[in-house]
Amino acid sequence: MYKAFLWDFFSRFSNQLISFIVSVFLTRLLLPEEFGIMGIALVVISFSTIFVDLGLGKAIIQQKEVSKVQLSTVFFLNTGISLLFTLACFLAAGPLASFFDQPALADVLQVVSLSFVFYGLNVVPNALLYRQMNFKVISIISTLSALFSGLIGIYMAKGGYGVWSLVVQNLSMSFLIFTLTFLYARWLPGLQLVFAEIRNMWRYSYRLFLSALLDNVFTRLDIFLIGKIFSPATLGYYTRAQSMDGIIKQTSSASIVTVLFPYLSRVQSETAIIRVLFIQYLHIICFVSFFLSGLLYICADSIFIMLFTERWLKAAALFKIMTIAGFVYPVSALMVNILSSRGNSKDFLRAEIIKKLVILPAYIFGFLLGLNGFVYTLAAVYILALFVNVLYVEKEIQVSFIKQVRIIFLYAVITLAVVVLVYMLRNFFPAVSLPGKILLEGSGFFLFFLLLSAITGTEGYKLVFRKIKSIAGQ
């Protein structure tokens, strides 16, 4: 599992680095309005891909045994649904463009909808690679796809293609991932379509599908509301801030939870092993995610100015608010994987429903406080919703509510103390250049965070540096 984690982490780190560099170029070359239009299109696409998958991809990974007939049936089912959604999105593009009062959105949606086909064809081969824990191959595929699609996007943006550079970048990435996955998986479907064979898989997957659908509605509803209420430029600032916020989410937890899910599925009946792993990785994820959240909160304004110019300072202000709850997604991802890996999709769905009821008031009343007020409200309710996951983990593997909260609270207090300390020390810094300011603030936060973690003896600090030493010693 350790080698799998290293390969997945390499993949995600390289993808984040490539995506970050590409985004810097694209943000400088394109307008906020163009990011806003593409943001709406990507919300429609991400929402629809949930229907294409139906949770069957995770079911293939989670099941102890999967037959050739089941794989072929899932493949043809996903492919058929993807074609239907491509057609539906093509026909709905005009009305959606009218709803948002953005004529350019219609053509963008019609072209981007082709990505459904690639996604539908890729569900089974991709799930097979994860089932085999072949993270080396997955890493190569994702890195190459991100690199080449990013270069295509930059080339088109420099050529003056505007929003179409984002469209082609997205489509080319989908196509490359699909093509390379098929080549590496070396799997072809048989001419078999027997729905009765996937009945057991569906009993598990339909709750994951409903959970993913519910989660996607709530995590993407903000884009629809902002796109309708505010200008495309405002939506562009918001989506730019969101993409930067994704750095915390992906870097701090994605590799761990991605590798853990197939591994936990294999030992799903060994509660004692899962309990030990959960506590260890909760410490690691909290250590990394709180560190990144605090660091980016401190340096947000300077980073946005240096990378994207002062034109994007409004996005920096929104991003700083988002970092307050930056730890929630990584910690939640670990907790929900505990439920799904053990086949408990029923509690998985119940937890999602309760969390969305907690989050719902932010969408109803948050916009009354303006865009910044909405983002603050959303951060607050996301933190509250995290405790729902804590309760369900306690029920599933008997790790007490107090113990989980105590671990999270420890890292929150350390981060808050270091942020306050760095802000106080700002008054002693002489006027320096923008890169110098980032260096001083970033290095100050880094050193104080590590020092305070070492003094308090946090388990996350010990585990992370133990892994670093073992890698360095190899």
Query: Roughly what angle, to the nearest 10 degrees, separates helices 370-397 and 401-425?
Result: 140
Same domain, 201 and 241: no
Percent of the chain with pLDDT over 90: 14
- Considering the domain architecture, whether residues 17 and 90 belong to the same structural domain is answered as yes
Same domain, yes or no, for 225 and 236?
no
Task: Note the pLDDT of residue 327.
Answer: 87
Q: Which tokens hold the place of 329?
A: 């997604």
- Contact between 8 and 142 (Cβ < 8 Å): no
Does residue 220 sit in the same domain as residue 244? Answer: no
Q: What is the DSSP string of 307-375?
A: HH-GGGHHHHHHHHHHHTTTTHHHHHHHHHHHHHHTT-HHHHHHHHHHHHHHHHHHHHHGGGGHHHHHH
Whether residue 42 sits in one domain with residue 71? yes
Whether 180 and 145 have beta carbons less than 8 Å apart is answered as yes
Number of structural domains in the chain: 2
Q: Of 128, 148, 138, 164, whose CA–CA distance to 56 is shortest? A: 128
Residue 470: other Cβ atoms inside 10 A: 10
Which of 229, 244, 267 represents a domain boundary (last residue)? 229
Do 9 and 88 lie in a common domain?
yes
What does the block give as tokens for 117? 């086909």
* Tokens linked to 382: 């996301």
Mean pLDDT of all residues in 117-133: 85
Q: Which sign does the torsion angle of CA 459, 461, 466, 471 carry? A: positive
Query: How many helices (H) and strands (E) are present in the chain, helices listed first?
Result: 19, 0
For residue 434, pLDDT over 90 is answered with: no
Answer yes or no: are the C-beta atoms of 292 and 319 closer than 8 Å: no
Residue 179 and residue 107 share a domain: yes
Question: Does one domain contain both 211 and 247?
Answer: no
Query: Taking the alpha carbons of 393, 399, 405, 410 in that order, is the dihedral positive or negative?
Result: negative
- Residue 429 has a pLDDT of 66
pLDDT of 18 reads 75
pLDDT of residue 259: 56
Our CA dihedral for 71, 73, 77, 83, rounded to 10 degrees, sits at 80
Q: Are residues 220 and 305 in the same domain?
A: no
Q: Do residues 257 and 388 both lie within one domain?
A: yes
> Is 81 in contact with 56 (CB distance < 8 Å)?
no
Domain shared by 84 and 195, yes or no: yes
pLDDT bin (cut points 50, 70, 90) of residue 399 is confident
- Are the beta carbons of 298 and 422 closer than 8 angstroms? yes
Q: Is pLDDT above 70 for 379?
A: yes
Q: Domain of 204?
A: 1-229
Residue where a domain stops, chosen among 195, 229, 263: 229
Considering the domain architecture, whether residues 212 and 286 belong to the same structural domain is answered as no
Last residue in a domain, options 229, 263, 288: 229
Predicted local distance difference test score (pLDDT) of residue 291: 92
